[in-house]
Amino acid sequence: MAGPLNLAALSPEEAPLSRQPHLMKPLQTKDGVGFSVIHRDQGRAWNVNDEHVFVKTQYRYFCHPLSRLGLRMPMLRRELIALRKCHRIGIDVPRVVLYRELGDMTELVISGISASYPLDEALDLSAANRNLIIENAARAIGSLHRHGWTHGALGNEHILVQPEQQCRVNLIDLEKARPGRWRIKKDLARFLRNSSCFSQTETKHFLDCYLLALAG
Amino acid sequence: MPKLRGFKTADLVSWRKRQLLGRALADGGDFGKTLDLPCGDGRYWSVFRDMGVASLVAAEVSKGMLDVASGNRLASNFPETLMLTSAFDVDLEDSSVDFAACIDFYQHLKGAEEQEKLLFEFARVCRGYLALSASMGGSTERQFTQSGFNIERVYDLWPVLSTWRLYLLRKHL
C-alpha cells in the first residue's frame, strides 16, 4: 500500500502546519524496499510533558528472531520489547509514548532525554565527573548483560549522559537489543572498541565496575 | 476479498476493518465533510471514496506517516486536504466535520486521561458521527457517554475471537 516516500510532498498551503517536525535521521532503506526514518517532534503534539519526542517510522523493516522460530517481526516491535525489559530491570531508557502497527508500517514514539550528551561528549564536559560517568555506564551495561540481554550496537552515540542528573546514563537505540548470553562478550568488545574516549586506567576502572554489576 | 497469492493474516484483518468502516459510513449516512484522523498511510481512503465521500480531510500526527500517505493519494483532490496536526489539539474549527473516523489509535493510548482528551477533541470538531475503534469494555463505553457521544452501532472485527470493535458514535444533540 505504501508508495514512495516523498519528504517534500506537501506544499505549505495544502498542509497548514502549526509545527514542523525535524528530520533527525535521513531515510534509510533496507533491501531497497523497506525504509526507516526518524523525526523529532514537539512533546505536546503527542500529549506528553516532555519538550521533545522522537518518532520512528518504518515500512517493511523486519527481523526474524529465533524466539519466533524465524518468523518475521517489525524491528520496532523488537525495540519496544527491549525498552520494556530495560524499564523493568531498572536501566534508564527513553519512555514509550506510543507504539502502533498499521500493516507493514510501524511507528514508535519515545520521549526525548533532556539535557543529555553522548558518552564521549559528556566525558569532555566535566573532568570531575568522569569517574561517575564511567561507573554509571558500566552499571547500566553490566545490568543489561546480567539479565542476559545485549544491546547490539553499543557505542558512544547510544549512551546518553545527563550531567545535571548526577550523570545518569541512558541507553538508547535498542533496535538491535535481544536476549542471548552468548552475545555478551561480543557486545562488550564492540563497546570497548568504539569507546576510544577512555584512557587505559579508565578502561580498567570501567571493567572493574562492569564485573561488579555483572555479578549483581 | 484479498488475493490468495501472497496472502497474509494482516490482509484479512485489514479487509475486514475496511468492510466495517464501510458499514459505519453507510449507517452514518451523512457525507459532508469527513475527517480521517490519524490517517496512517491512507489505507482507508478507498473506503471513503467508494462510499461517496466527496470532501475528505486526512490528518496525521506523525510526519513520517503523512509523507507516506501523500504518496498514496487516490486522486489529486482525494483526500481534499492532508494535514499534520496533533490528535489532541486538532487544527480544525468547532463542529466543522460531519463524520470523523479514528481507527487503530485510541487503544494505543496510555490511560483513561489521554483517551478522554482525545474523545473531547473529537467531540469538539465533530457535529455528527464518529467511527472509533477500541477494545471492547464497559469502562470504554462509559468514557464515550461521558465525552458527549451516544453509541449508535457496534461492529465486531471477529465476534468472540477478537476484542477489536468499531463503534459508531453520535454526538449528543
Residue-by-residue DSSP string for A167-202 = TEEEE--GGG-EE-GGGHHHHHHHHHHH-TTS-HHH
Mean pLDDT score, A167-193: 93
Inter-chain CB proximity A2 and B105 less than 8 Å: no
Residues B133, B106 contacting (CB under 8 angstroms): yes
Residue A180: which CATH number? 1.10.510.10
* Structural contact between residues B46 and B18, judged by C-beta atoms closer than 8 angstroms: yes
Distance in Å, alpha carbon of A12 to nearest chain B alpha carbon: 10
Distance separating alpha carbons of residues B91 and B131, to the nearest angstrom: 19
Same domain (yes/no): A102, A136: no
Confirm if B72 and A10 have CB atoms less than 8 A apart: no
Residue range A168-191: average pLDDT?
93
Task: Say which CATH number the domain at A52 has.
Answer: 3.30.200
Chain A residues whose CB is inside 8 A of the B15 CB are none
Contact B81 A14 (CB under 8 A): yes
CA distance A190 to A141: 12
**Considering A62, A85, A111, which residue would you say is the last residue of a domain?**
A111
Q: Is residue A165 part of a domain?
A: yes
pLDDT tens sequence across B49-94: 999 999 999 999 999 999 999 999 999 899 999 999 999 999 999 9
**Cβ A44–B64 below 8 Å, yes or no?**
no
Q: What is the ipTM of this complex?
A: 0.85
A175, three cell numbers: 533496535
User: Which of the four pLDDT bands, split at 50, 70 and 90, describes residue A16?
Assistant: very low
Looking at the structure, tell me whether residues A135 and A152 fall in a common domain. Answer: yes
The H or E element that residue A138 is part of is: helix A130-146
Of the candidates A77, A111, A145, which is a domain's last residue?
Answer: A111
Count of domains forming chain A: 2
> Do A129 and A176 belong to one domain?
yes
Residues in B closer than 8 angstroms to A38, CB to CB, are 64
pLDDT in tens, A52-90: 999 999 988 888 888 888 888 999 999 999 999 999 999
Last residue of a domain, one of A94, A111, A128: A111
- Contacts with B105 from chain A: Cβ below 8 Å: 100
User: Does B71 sit within 8 Å of A3, measured CB to CB?
Assistant: yes
Q: Based on the domain organization, do A188 and A145 belong to the same domain?
A: yes
Buried b (16+ CB within 10 A) or exposed e, A99-116: bbbbbbbbbbbbbbbeeb
The pLDDT of residue A208 is above 70: yes
Query: Are B72 and A46 an interchain contact pair (Cβ–Cβ within 8 Å)?
Result: no
State the pTM of this model: 0.86
Q: Which residues of B touch A98 (CB under 8 A)?
A: 108-110
Confirm whether A107 is domain-assigned. Answer: yes
The verdict on residue A183 lying in a domain is yes
Q: What's phi and psi for B93, nearest 5 deg?
A: -70, 165
Mutate to test the interface with A, among B39, B63, B133 (most CBs of A within 10 A): B63
pLDDT at A48 over 60: yes
Q: How confident is the model at residue B1 (pLDDT cuts 50, 70, 90)?
A: low
Q: What is the pLDDT of residue A128?
A: 57
Q: CB-CB: which of A47, A103, A104 is closest to B88?
A: A47
Asked whether residue A82 falls in the same domain as residue A41, the answer is yes
Instruction: Select from B8, B84, B92 the residue whose CB has the most chain A CBs within 10 Å, as the one to mutate to test that interface.
Output: B84
In this prediction, residue B2 carries a pLDDT of 52
A5 inside domain: no
Helix (H) / strand (E) containing A137:
helix A130-146
Residues of chain B neighbouring A100 (CB-CB closer than 8 A): 104-105, 108
Q: B81 to chain A: nearest residue by CA?
A: A14
Question: Span B9-171: which CATH code?
Answer: 3.40.50.150
DSSP state of B26: H
Residue of B nearest to A96 (CA): B110
Q: Are residues A50 and A136 in the same domain?
A: no
Shared domain for A122 and A207, answered yes or no, is: yes
User: Looking at the partner chain, which of A16, A23, A99 has a beta carbon nearest the beta carbon of B83?
Assistant: A16
Helical segments of B31-167, H only? 45-50, 63-70, 111-125, 138-146
Contacts of A4 in chain B (CB under 8 A): 71
Give the model confidence (pLDDT) of B11-51 as tens digits: 888 899 999 999 999 998 877 899 999 999 999 999 999 99
Closest CA to A89 of A138, A139, A164: A139
Q: Is the CB of B6 inside 8 Å of chain A's CB atoms?
A: no
Name A117's bridge partners: A161
- Domain hosting A40: range is 22-111
B83 → closest Cβ in A2, A15, A55 = A15
Tell me, what amino acid is at A206? F
- The string of pLDDT tens digits covering residues A149-163 is 999 999 999 999 999
Residue-by-residue DSSP string for B88-122: TB-SS-TT-EEEEEE-SSGGGS-HHHHHHHHHHHH
- Nearest residue of B to residue A46 by CA position? B86
Distance CA A134, CA B28 (A): 61
Q: What angle do CA B106, B35, A37 make, to 5 degrees?
A: 65
Interchain pair A99, B108: CB under 8 A? yes
Shared-domain flag, residues A105 and A144: no
